[in-house]
C-alpha cells in the first residue's frame, strides 16, 4: 500500500471483517438498508453526481468502442454491488440508450446479494470476494467498482482480478473516496483522530496514486473525475451532505479545488492485444 496510497492507519485500526460475523452482530455497515440514502436529499444529490460521471464515461466508451459487434448484448458487472443502488441506475441508463445488456452482481456480503435478488434487480448474482472473482478470463465488457477498493487490503490483487475478467478493450469504472488528500490527512491525524480507530478503510487513495495502481495492473487511464469536497471534520461534512443545498455547496468547492474533492472516479480501459505491443 505504501507505493500506491497514503496508508495513515493507526495500529488500532481493524482489518477487513468477516461479513457473516458482522451480519449476525447487526453491524449497520453490513445490514443497513442502503436505499435509505436516496431519501436524504443531500446524499441523493451526491449519488446522482456519481451517476452523472459514470454516465459520461459510459457514453464516451460506447461511442468509441470497437471490441463488440453492432447489436450484440454487452456483459456488465457491478463488483461490490451492495443493495443495488447502482444496479438500478445502470439498468435505466442502458434502457434509455437502447443498449442490450446482461448485468451481473457481485458482493462478498450474503445479505446484500439476497436483497438484490429479492428486488429482482439482476438475474445473476454471486456471493464472492473480488480477490477471487468466480468468472472466466475476459468475461465482461464493463465493470463498475464503486467505493469498494478502499476496504480491500490487497487492492492490487483486486485490480488484477478485474483486469483478468475484463475483455480486451473493456471499460473499468472505478470510484473511491479521496482520503489521501491533505484535508483527509488533516482530519484523520489532527482534527478527528478517532476516525482511524473506527474506520474499516485500509487504503487512502489520491487520484495520482490510484492512476499509478491502475497502470501497474495493465489498464490505460482515460479520464479522472472529481466530485464533492472533503471537509476535515466528519460531523460538519455529515450535516452539509444531509441537505441538497449543502451537497451542492461542497460540489462547488470541489470544482474549485479538485485535489481536495470527496470522491475520485476513474475511467480506464483494458488495452486491446495490439495496443500491448
- For 3, 45, 227, the CA distances from 12, given in Å and listed in that order, are 22, 34, 30
Annotate 7-71 with DSSP letters as a single string.
Answer: ----TTPPPPPPHHHHHHHT-HHHHS-GGGGGGSHHHHHHHHHHHHHHHHHHHHHHHH--SS-TT
When pLDDT is averaged across residues 183-188 and rounded to a whole number, the result is 94
Neighbours of 147 (CB within 10 A): 16
What is the dihedral sign for C-alpha 230, 264, 224, 74? negative
- At 276, give phi and psi (nearest 5°): -85, -10
Is residue 219 within 8 Å of 268, Cβ to Cβ?
Answer: yes
Surface-to-core class of residue 105, CB atoms within 10 Å of its CB (0-12 exposed, 13-18 middle, 19+ buried): buried
All structural domains of the chain: 35-276 (3.40.50.150)
pTM of the model: 0.90
What is the dihedral sign for C-alpha 24, 154, 186, 237? negative
Is residue 99 within 8 Å of 74, Cβ to Cβ?
Answer: yes
Q: Is the pLDDT of residue 15 over 70?
A: no
How far is residue 200's CA from residue 60's CA, in Å, rounded to a whole number? 34
Specify the pLDDT at position 70.
58
Task: Write out pLDDT tens, residues 17-69.
Answer: 688 888 888 888 889 999 999 999 999 999 999 999 999 999 999 988 754 45
Question: Which of these ranges, 9-23, 28-42, 109-123, 148-162, has the smallest mean pLDDT?
Answer: 9-23
pLDDT band at 3 (very low <50, low <70, confident <90, very high): very low
When pLDDT is averaged across residues 155-175 and rounded to a whole number, the result is 97
Tell me which residue has cell 474549485: 256
Specify the pLDDT at position 212.
97
Helices 85-96 and 41-64 sit at what angle, rounded to 10 degrees?
50
Task: Write out pLDDT tens, residues 240-265.
Answer: 998 999 999 999 999 999 999 999 99
Q: Show the beta-strand stretches assigned E in 134-205.
A: 140-146, 166-177
- At 267, give phi and psi (nearest 5°): -105, 115
Amino acid at each position: 500500500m505504501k507505493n500506491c496510497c497514503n496508508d495513515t492507519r493507526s495500529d488500532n485500526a481493524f482489518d477487513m471483517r468477516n461479513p457473516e460475523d458482522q451480519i449476525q452482530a447487526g453491524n449497520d455497515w453490513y445490514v443497513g438498508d442502503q436505499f435509505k440514502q436516496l431519501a436524504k436529499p443531500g446524499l441523493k444529490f451526491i449519488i446522482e453526481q456519481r451517476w452523472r460521471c459514470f454516465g459520461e464515461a459510459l457514453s464516451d466508451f460506447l461511442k468509441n468502442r470497437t471490441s463488440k459487434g453492432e447489436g450484440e448484448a454487452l456483459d456488465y458487472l457491478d463488483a461490490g454491488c451492495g443493495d443495488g443502488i447502482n444496479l438500478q441506475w445502470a439498468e435505466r441508463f442502458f434502457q434509455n440508450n437502447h443498449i442490450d445488456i446482461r448485468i451481473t452482481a457481485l458482493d462478498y456480503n450474503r445479505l446484500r446479494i439476497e436483497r438484490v435478488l429479492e428486488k429482482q434487480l439482476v438475474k445473476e448474482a454471486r456471493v464472492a470476494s473480488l480477490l477471487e472473482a468466480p468468472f472466466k478470463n475476459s468475461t465482461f465488457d464493463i465493470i463498475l467498482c464503486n467505493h469498494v477498493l478502499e476496504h480491500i487490503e490487497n487492492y492490487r490483487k483486486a485490480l488484477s482480478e478485474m483486469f483478468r475478467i475484463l475483455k480486451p478493450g473493456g471499460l473499468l469504472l472505478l470510484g473511491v473516496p479521496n482520503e489521501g488528500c491533505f484535508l483527509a490527512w488533516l482530519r484523520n491525524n489532527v482534527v478527528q483522530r478517532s476516525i482511524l480507530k473506527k474506520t474499516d478503510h485500509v487504503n487512502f487513495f489520491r487520484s495520482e496514486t490510484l492512476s499509478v495502481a491502475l497502470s501497474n495492473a495493465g489498464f490505460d487511464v482515460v479520464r479522472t473525475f472529481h466530485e464533492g469536497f472533503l471537509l476535515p471534520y466528519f460531523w460538519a461534512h455529515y450535516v452539509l451532505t444531509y441537505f441538497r443545498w449543502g451537497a451542492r455547496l461542497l460540489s462547488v468547492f470541489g470544482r474549485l479545488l479538485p485535489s481536495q474533492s470527496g470522491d475520485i472516479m476513474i475511467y480506464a480501459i483494458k488495452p486491446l492485444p495490439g495496443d500491448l505491443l
